[in-house]
Amino acid sequence: MADDLLTQLKRMTTVVADTGDIEAIRRFQPTDATTNPSLILQAAQQEARRRRLAEIARHATDIDDALDAVAVEIGSEISALVPGFVSTEVSARLSFDTEASLARARSLIARYDRHGVGPERILIKLAATWEGIQAAKVLEREGIHTNLTLMFNFDQARACADAGVTLVSPFVGRILDWHKAQDPEADFGGDRDPGVQSVKRIYEHFKGHGYETIVMGASFRNSGEIKALAGCDRLTISPALLGELAETQGTLERRLSPLGAETRPPEPQDEPEFRWALNEDAMATEKLAEGIRKFMADQRKLEGLLAELRQG
């Protein structure tokens, strides 16, 4: 009997769990796990965590302290279940503040260290704004690994690679969402999916120019997008889609393969060039802003929950 699609995918791509759900991570045994404010909120709302959250909230110096304590505690639990990286996000509120992002990232790494989790196990997630990318450049020089998220276009990815970040997370599903809203009747299946096309372009550019930055496709809407990117360095996948792949038999074809560096990288963009290129891409501009707002909306909900527990 042939292996299921998830087993086959793991042979060609590092599978990452896109969740803060401990039980899902135990079930699917990914190599890495990635979280974000929305996933931390979901994990924090589990009744089994209520007492511990209340304890954290009451001992925290303020809400920011409580937020990071919760994120690191959940991340530390996850680190005991996966052999690779755990991604933990800097507050979306700091997406346009390089210095504040640096301070928060260093604080998160120090918290992990107090939990016995070394910096080699952690990816600090930052939004792929100009300010986030500059913070990542500094952190990488300090030996702190970074994951640049909310990535919607090639210029964001290129700037991240030039900055020497460890990993980029180009979003697939949210790109598809935008294009479907513009043209509801269009066929975006398989290789016609604009999110899939975006990841392929980034992957081919990185491999063709010898960048070491890892490409991790993210934000999937269906298993077809995952299958179309089989062979990508990493793919971060929700428990629902991991379950679908695990329950599906068939043959999974490798779609992406590194061919090796062919040419020297182009000159890095400066800030005006980066901002202009992003401004010219309506989809990326809109989805980046929307993504930051959505992460902040969930962060505010978590802040409210922790504030309530502090008072209780």
For 74-91, write each residue's pLDDT tens digit.
Answer: 999 999 999 999 999 999
Q: Which CATH class is domain 5-307?
A: alpha beta
Distance CA 53, CA 69 (A): 9
Give the per-residue pLDDT at 31. 96
Give the per-residue pLDDT at 310. 84
Grouping H, G, I as helix, E, B as strand and the rest as coil, residue 2 is coil
pLDDT digits (tens, 9 = 90+) for 133-145: 999 999 999 999 9
Please pick, among 10, 125, 137, 227, the residue that the annotation labels catalytic.
125
Give the per-residue pLDDT at 263. 75
Give the per-residue pLDDT at 33. 95
Asked if 171 and 152 touch (Cβ cutoff 8 Å), the reply is yes
Asked if 116 and 77 touch (Cβ cutoff 8 Å), the reply is no
125 is catalytic: yes
Q: Parallel, antiparallel, or unpaired for β 14-18 and 234-237?
A: parallel
Q: What is the mean pLDDT of residues 105-120?
A: 98
Lowest mean pLDDT among 55-69, 94-108, 138-152, 226-240: 55-69
Dihedrals phi, psi of 206, to nearest 5 degrees: -60, -45
Q: So where are the chain's domains?
A: 5-307
Mean pLDDT of the chain: 95
Please, which pLDDT band fits residue 180 given cuts at 50, 70 and 90?
Answer: very high
pLDDT digits (tens, 9 = 90+) for 30-65: 999 998 888 888 888 888 888 888 899 899 999 999
Give the per-residue pLDDT at 277. 97
Grouping H, G, I as helix, E, B as strand and the rest as coil, residue 89 is strand
* Look-up of token digits 């997630």: 125
Please, which pLDDT band fits residue 1 given cuts at 50, 70 and 90?
Answer: low
Distance CA 77, CA 50 (A): 16
pLDDT digits (tens, 9 = 90+) for 235-263: 999 999 999 999 999 999 999 998 776 77
